[in-house]
Amino acid sequence: MTVIKFLQAFLPVVIYILLIVLIIVGIIIGIRAIETMKKVDKIVDSVNDKVESLNGVFNIVDFTTDKISLLTDKVVDGAVSLVGSLFKKKKKKRKEIDLFDEDEEEEED
């Protein structure tokens, strides 16, 4: 019975000591996590500032590509209409030649 009384007195003390150690370790980990979060926040702010400084460059590149795209679209439209008008002229000439040939054939009959 003495062993049981010893364990009844000793085990709660051991459990309390282990809980105190666990709480202290948790507090230390919490403090380190807060310090790490502060460092991460500084890094994120620095990166954000650098990205904001590049926004002007990105806006210029975006504006330039839009204008180049507009210019190339107009050049392509002009080339397509030029080629289309050349084919229309050839078709008109062929029709006129065909009509002229038909008129000559009718006169020969």
Residues in the chain: 109
Q: What is the dihedral of CA 7, 8, 10, 11, to 10 degrees?
A: 90
Q: Residue 69: its pLDDT value, please?
A: 95
Whether the predicted pLDDT of 75 surpasses 90: yes
Does the pLDDT of residue 93 top 80, yes or no?
no
Between residues 83 and 62, which one has the greater pLDDT? 62
Q: Alpha carbon of 24 to those of 30, 38, 41, 50, 81: distances in Å? A: 10, 21, 26, 40, 81
Could you give the percent of the chain with pLDDT greater than 70? 80
Decide if pLDDT at 105 tops 60.
no
The residue to which tokens 């709660």 are assigned: 12
Residue showing tokens 């000559």: 104
- The confidence band for 72, taking pLDDT boundaries of 50, 70 and 90, is very high
57-67 burial, b at 16+ Cβ within 10 Å, e below that, comes to: eeeeeeeeeee
Residue range 46-63: mean pLDDT, rounded? 90
